[in-house]
Structure 1
């Protein structure tokens, strides 16, 4: 028996994963979300399994946001299918964010108390082992201005920041490509600082997976991933790993700073007050 075809995009199997992640309505919505890169790396499987995977990778607030966006996507699909009405993706994301914030205001104190009892090292940034430096990288995107902000922060085994950097570039309409560019630039900054053994941390799981493999099927980032692979020969030791966003907050703050100022700057000391605040 032939499986039903999606009523919206007329392609793909009409199942929950397609509706929430693959359909043209869903893709447009996630494009405007701050979790765009994370959601692009989600592997196709049943939705409960997807949610279990996201719970392991994201903060609870991000998981709540995903659940609300899924509900909004489902509502938007029904509007389109049964009423012929299209919902603005940016408006949908704004509604989802407002819903999560309202929920947090009501239940925030209780959840904060519970989370504080369950905090583990996996929920916090951890210093690198002796002899290594940890390079946290991130990308932030402003779709309307077509800008990408890159942030890099390098810390030693004592947790001290030794280098911070920001850079703005043109957005190439692909969030994952921007995250890959952040990894590449972090490697360049580490080489400039003459570091021999580094651990790169990114909160984009797709880029981490591609950087640790030999090939990429994503044409828009294949050359960047190839450049990242070539850097492995320039370090005595290099590893690239995925971390939850809560462990990458400093690099994320710097990436957002790059968007605001449209600058490219590297600091090795005398960090400006607003950059110190990111740490």
Structure 2
């Protein structure tokens, strides 16, 4: 319902309320820096930008690509491509919708109860609701034969598993990296286009990029998983030397 109200511009942002109440303060209650429009409160406000980065698997949404409230609804219903399995693509829309809902909830708590918005607390709320909803719908959404073709084993407690893959054609290659914890919760997902190269080299460079990302995030206990047998065996071989 919230996403529909945003799409038809019926949500009571201060910009919309000013049409009927011309003397109200139109500043955003979370940052007090701009007029509170739908685009500002959900994408431009510093709190919103921080929450997108923290709670939506590292997804960065460019506010310049959101010009109307309808664009917000379209973004949720047709999210950017991701390396997540086809049968799990619906979870991207779910997580994005929960981010939108949590931003509006935080805004209302500040506006009406003077409760300061907290990014980490909001992130925990989103993840808790995501796991609850996903658990309820997953058995009905995934067919038994699809489950049989894919089995993901979680890492030990306190570890992070990073799945890596590379795809290529004649003109370019592409890397996808997904990081999950022991509960299977997606912590981050990354993807990038790379120049054309031989398959083995593409897989090796994807693994190298995954290691660089793990170092950047300062993760101490990391497991790498991929389908490039030669590369994985080279890393786990007793003859492997740091380079």
TM-score tier, shorter chain, comes to 0.5 to 0.7
Aligned partner of residue 28 in structure 2, secondary structure: coil
CA separation of 1:139/1:61 partners in 2, compared to 1, >3 Å: closer, same or farther?
closer
Between stretches 155-164 and 91-100, larger displacement belongs to: 155-164
Superposed displacement of residue 90, structure 1 = 0.8
1:255 equivalent in structure 2? 213
Between stretches 46-55 and 13-22, larger displacement belongs to: 46-55
CA separation of 1:41/1:136 partners in 2, compared to 1, >3 Å: closer, same or farther?
farther
1:94 equivalent in structure 2? 124
Superposed displacement of residue 256, structure 1 = 3.7
Alignment of 1:73-88 (within 5 A): 73-88=103-118
2:11 equivalent in structure 1? none
Please report the RMSD computed on the Cα atoms of aligned residues, expressed in angstroms. 4.5
* CA distance in structure 2 between the partners assigned to 1:113 and 1:159 by the alignment: 33
* CA distance in structure 2 between the partners assigned to 1:108 and 1:43 by the alignment: 31
CA separation of 1:78/1:53 partners in 2, compared to 1, >3 Å: closer, same or farther?
closer
1:22 equivalent in structure 2? 44
Alignment of 1:19-58 (within 5 A): 19-40=41-62, 43-54=65-76, 55-58=78-81
TM-score by length of 2: 0.52
Relative contact order: is structure 1 or structure 2 higher (C-alpha 8 Å, sep ≥ 6)? 1
Instruction: Give unmatched runs, 5+ long, in structure 1.
Output: 117-124, 141-149, 168-181, 183-250, 274-279
CA separation of 1:112/1:45 partners in 2, compared to 1, >3 Å: closer, same or farther?
farther
CA separation of 1:7/1:160 partners in 2, compared to 1, >3 Å: closer, same or farther?
closer
Superposed displacement of residue 36, structure 1 = 4.0
User: Which has more helix, going by share of residues?
Assistant: 1
Structure index of larger Rg: 2
Superposed displacement of residue 74, structure 1 = 0.8
Instruction: Give unmatched runs, 5+ long, in structure 2.
Output: 1-18, 82-88, 147-164, 180-189, 223-227, 237-243
* CA distance in structure 1 between the partners assigned to 2:139 and 2:213 by the alignment: 29
Note if contact 2:56-2:99 (Cα within 8 Å) is conserved in structure 1: no
Q: Any idea what the Cα deviations from partners look like across 1:96-120, whole Å, max 9, x if unmatched?
A: 0111111011111222239x6xxxx
